[in-house]
Structure 1
């Protein structure tokens, strides 16, 4: 059964068990209540889950081509029309054999019989260009690319950047040794502090941007659970930025073309500035970005800006963080990656022991507790030193002792030995 059919089965079973109503089941499946009642009736009267499967599954379509026609096409290709391509063969069959078939049908028949085209042609991919957004700030595109930016003067490292879709302005960029979440966070902070909060962000499907556990089961969907987010995705959700993950590089072609421009121009600019290290390249990057924007940025179609002003109460350092959950111990302490932390300042409110709190780690390494929209700074504390338990000396096993000859334990044995000796003496005398 397909995923959609399996979902129908689970919903019908929940309705029959009394866990859902017809109206709730119809809303979960996107159907009307009358359709929901029909599904439930079919499930009960026609044999359970298989009754909800598609009725045409396993049946041959009426408009399918007969085996005689398929065999005729194969024979004509191997003899009379050998070497023709799919489109030409379809035209020849229509013109000379009165067989009206589409090129795709001809291609499928030949492939099913193990026949490949005489001349393999690779069709060039055509990607329809997407129109720019009309207003600045409606969409940013973000990505990273490794390259030898300093040529042979330093090892290759990665440039992270974000570009505004409407104007082509590079809103932020930073060099890092490898592609990482911290660099993307710095790029977003640069752009937000200088221009504002964008409405949307376009990225690839790297695990920095999306959680590997993003796919939900049918039971989780029915329970109303939401998709888990990565640390970067949680920051986007907190800033109310719509995060779109592209499936192909061509979907975010604006920034992909930016890499070609940078790899052509930025390398020469850094060579002229005599940058030899990653730190020197980062120091020269803001000036180079301004130069690039002056030359390549364009005016948006609409003058009105879509940027949202950042709330003054929002601290971006507390937004772009690593977020995990811990339980408070007695004395308001918690353990975080092998270290024990406690609150740096006394709290105005009381947190009970065993309370689950959200722990955030900033890019600078600060660790804090996020509670009710408030950041509570933590400080590392020493682990309690436990005195080692004194080992009690174990008693050594006593040495084995041999009983004396007159010991009571030996009396029975001695008397028995004497009797035996007496018997032996009597026998010898006799």
Structure 2
């Protein structure tokens, strides 16, 4: 019996012996007088067993059957390994037609030794920030590298942006690594579907900011503006306020999104039998729509803060690489080792040595951006300089007898026909020749 039940027996006995009244006993146990009378009657009729709970030692009628527990544990090991308790309960209902609560699933996995209770680390507390009131007021964007397809492929990066007011994932794409192209695709997805947000929250990666962003006091006094990265220039052209966070907690909405997707998306991709990043990108929109349906919330204000994208604005012309080039003779320019010229006669006049802005899209198209218009370019061949014929090497010539090299000695003097037999004879012969030449 429990200590509470033992206390009830002790108080009822005191009342029966006349040491306590019904009112005093009720006050001691914190129950009504009528309940005290019921306890006295049970004690008189059944003794101490009448005070004990009648369901003690009996299996509850609503308890799960053992075969259901075994089936759930078998499915977790075979198909849903690694999913958390909440996601596992959802998958059982969606794919196996088994309705189990999250707490029941957790107890089954703990009892079978398939999962261990997590020990929460004590982390540094941060002041929570209230969500923005309207959808489109703020997006948070980031990327994370993870083994999304487990052992099938190496880890690759998921780029995504989430709306702060609703928690809706507005765009997502897989890329081999964190890159400007991935962030540009995510922004294009979200803008085309929802509209242009008022502001964007990101980290301080060099994709988002220039390494020379900080200006000196002299530069600020001279009126110089901060240099922007290619992505930053796109944000400025769309009039999106770009905020760069100094800590991960500042953009906690997208950081918590990674915990959810790393826990759930891996299982979903495994169930679909996906084994490559290309296949994962095809299935990703449907999985993100499923995520938004379950986790997105309604904003505090029904008004939308999104700006409408004008019909004459092409996002492919905005999310580009931008560099300055000087036009050469014949309206040609060199870019990335290739010579380009206008694909069609330019409607605008360019002076010689004009400096123009060259943009390259995500698909590799190159064009000149001038006064809000895209002037298409085409590749042209650089004229090759004429190659001069190399002179062949001269044939060796034997000097004539009257050449200065041969006039050092008198060639008319008759040489001795006899060869010196000894080294001393050879020396004497050379000495005689020298004397003869001196005369």
Task: State the TM-score, normalizing by the size of structure 1.
Answer: 0.65
Quickly say closer, same or farther: Cα 1:408–1:235, change in 2 above 3 A: closer
How many Å apart are 1:280 and its aligned residue? 0.8
Quickly say closer, same or farther: Cα 1:350–1:189, change in 2 above 3 A: same
Quickly say closer, same or farther: Cα 1:409–1:128, change in 2 above 3 A: closer
Corresponding residue for residue 137 of structure 2: 138
Q: 5+ unaligned residues in a row in structure 2: which ranges?
A: 1-120, 414-431
Corresponding residue for residue 198 of structure 1: 197
Corresponding residue for residue 260 of structure 2: 261
How many Å apart are 1:296 and its aligned residue? 0.6
How many Å apart are 1:350 and its aligned residue? 1.7
**Residue 159 of structure 2 corresponds to residue 160 of structure 1:** yes
Larger radius of gyration: 2
Q: Aligned pair count? A: 298
Corresponding residue for residue 277 of structure 1: 276
**Residue 254 of structure 2 corresponds to residue 246 of structure 1:** no
Corresponding residue for residue 286 of structure 1: 285
How many Å apart are 1:155 and its aligned residue? 1.8
How many Å apart are 1:221 and its aligned residue? 1.3
SS in 2 for 1:236: helix
SS in 1 for 2:334: strand
How many Å apart are 1:178 and its aligned residue? 0.5
Deviations 1:121-173 (A, max 9, x none): x9841111111111100000000001111111222111000000000000000
Deviations 1:15-39 (A, max 9, x none): xxxxxxxxxxxxxxxxxxxxxxxxx
Corresponding residue for residue 189 of structure 1: 188
Corresponding residue for residue 220 of structure 1: 219
Query: How far, CA to CA, are the matches of 1:345 and 1:404 in structure 2?
Result: 70
**Residue 348 of structure 2 corresponds to residue 349 of structure 1:** yes
Query: How far, CA to CA, are the matches of 1:370 and 1:163 in structure 2?
Result: 31
How many Å apart are 1:408 and its aligned residue? 10
**Residue 366 of structure 2 corresponds to residue 403 of structure 1:** no
How many Å apart are 1:293 and its aligned residue? 0.6
SS in 2 for 1:174: strand
User: What RMSD, in angstroms, separates the aligned Cα atoms of the two structures?
Assistant: 2.7
Corresponding residue for residue 232 of structure 2: 233
How many Å apart are 1:400 and its aligned residue? 3.4
How many Å apart are 1:349 and its aligned residue? 1.8
Residues 203 and 248 in structure 2, CA contact (< 8 A), matched pair in contact too? yes
**Residue 287 of structure 2 corresponds to residue 307 of structure 1:** no
Residues 203 and 244 in structure 2, CA contact (< 8 A), matched pair in contact too? yes
| 1:105-116 matched pairs, under 5 angstroms | none
Corresponding residue for residue 127 of structure 1: 126
How many Å apart are 1:218 and its aligned residue? 2.2
Task: State the TM-score, normalizing by the size of structure 2.
Answer: 0.64
Corresponding residue for residue 325 of structure 2: 326
Query: How far, CA to CA, are the matches of 2:376 and 2:333 in structure 1?
Result: 13
Deviations 1:212-269 (A, max 9, x none): 1111122211111011000000000000000011111000000000000001111111
SS in 1 for 2:265: helix
Query: How far, CA to CA, are the matches of 2:203 and 2:126 in structure 1?
Result: 17
SS in 2 for 1:380: strand
How many Å apart are 1:276 and its aligned residue? 0.9
Q: 5+ unaligned residues in a row in structure 1: which ranges?
A: 1-121, 425-430
Query: How far, CA to CA, are the matches of 1:123 and 1:159 in structure 2?
Result: 28
Runs of 4+ in 1 over 3 A off after TM superposition: 392-402, 407-411
SS in 2 for 1:151: coil
